[in-house]
Amino acid sequence: MGLDDSCNTGLVLGLGLSPTPNNYNHAIKKTSATVDHRLIRLDPSLTLSLSGESYKTKTAAGAGDQICRQTSSHSGISSFSSGRVKREREIYGGDGEEEAEETTERVVCSRVSDDHEDEEGVSARKKLRLTKQQSAVLEDSFKLHSTLNPKQKQNLARQLNLRPRQVEVWFQNRRARTKLKQTEVDCEILKKCCETLTDENRRLQKELQDLKALKLSQPFYMHMPAATLTMCPSCERLGGGGGGAGGVGGGTAAVDGETAKGAFSIVTKPRFYNPFTNPSAAC
DNA sequence: TCGGTCAAACCGTTTA
DNA sequence: TAAACGGTTTGACCGA
């Protein structure tokens, strides 16, 4: 799956559907909850980072900056109101095995927000940002295998000082986003195919009109079997099967190389492409 | 496990 | 120049 899939992706999008590349993100609307609460909360602490990376924590009260380091997501992460408490409790409130996996090195940035929010009975999705190093390790691992077995998950979690659940979620998201990206690429390909085919169709329509006009003006061709009409590969003009008729201009009526045996019987390129069976030809 | 979604964190642009 | 704002990225969650 994942990256491997991208090499063997079936095009399943329909023509005419042209979602914008950022549809996914556009669907995500900013809510009032995302208003910069940092400025109004009583507890002003901000993001922290895992070991190896640190963020300055701004304090709205002007207490100055403090550097906090975290070694797990339990560290002082801002938390805001949210209805989704259940999972948070499972994870942050003592999740048996996974909790046991955690090291005792956890350093909690000195702050009071968690207690404060517990008093209010609200919790929130706590989010940390992985460090570049953690992301790089996860990426490398993802390149090797886009899914993890439990042992790999445990090892990665231990190595990165994350909870196995975090590693699992990261891989889930990574797979989803890889797939989304591939869908966008496929969509672009289909759009190009659509444009190509539209142009081809327009050109052929015009050609058909020309031929109809020609048919009216020169009835001679009416007596000639279609299979005897061939095209000169160099000038793309029609040639008559018996060699009697010269080029008539603009014609590409005969495309069957098997049956075309006239003066210009070699057809060098097919005129129609199937983007699904031969996507490289049209796109 | 996936798809959909939420929302924190971040980033670039605009504005007073 | 800082605040405000809109858009994007991504960690986390839920339901199927």
Give residue A206's pLDDT band: very low, low, confident or very high (50, 70, 90): very high
Q: Is the pLDDT of residue A185 over 50?
A: yes
Percent of chain A scoring above 70 in pLDDT: 33
A33 CB contact with strand C at below 7 Å: no
Most confident of A195-204, A248-257, A268-277: A195-204
What's the sign of the alpha-carbon dihedral A136, A142, A143, A145?
positive
Mean pLDDT, rounded, for A158-183: 86
Residue-level pLDDT at A222: 54
Average pLDDT, chain A: 54
* Cβ atoms < 10 Å from Cβ of A250: 15
Residue-level pLDDT at A199: 95
CB-to-strand C under 7 Å, chain A 130-149:
130, 135
Output the CA torsion A175→A179→A182→A184 (10° steps). Answer: -130
Mean pLDDT, rounded, for A64-69: 32
A109 CB contact with strand B at below 7 Å: no
A155 CB contact with strand C at below 7 Å: no
Separation of alpha carbons A274 and A280, rounded Å: 9
Q: Is the pLDDT of residue A210 over 50?
A: yes
A26 CB contact with strand C at below 7 Å: yes
Q: Tell me if A14 sits within 8 A of A279, measured CB to CB.
A: no
Residue of least CA–C1' distance to B5: A28
Residue-level pLDDT at A186: 84
Give residue A211's pLDDT band: very low, low, confident or very high (50, 70, 90): very high
pLDDT tens for A2-15 read 333 333 333 333 33
Residue of least CA–C1' distance to B7: A34
Q: Is the pLDDT of residue A138 over 80?
A: yes
Give the CA diameter of chain A.
Answer: 98
Between A184 and A220, the more confident residue is A184
Residue of least CA–C1' distance to B8: A127
Chain C positions with any atom < 7 A from a protein CB = 4, 6-14
Among candidate residues A82, A105, A104, A102, the one with its CA nearest the CA of residue A94: A102
| Residue length of chain A | 283
Between A188 and A102, the more confident residue is A188
Which nucleotide, over all strands, has the C1' atom closest to the CA of A174? C10
Residue-level pLDDT at A148: 84
- C1’ B16 / CA A8, Å: 53
- C1’ B4 / CA A24, Å: 10
- C1’ B7 / CA A245, Å: 73
Give residue A200's pLDDT band: very low, low, confident or very high (50, 70, 90): very high
Residue-level pLDDT at A212: 92
Among candidate residues A59, A60, A57, the one with its CA nearest the CA of residue A69: A57
Most confident of A62-71, A142-151, A222-231, A259-268: A142-151
Between A259 and A283, the more confident residue is A283
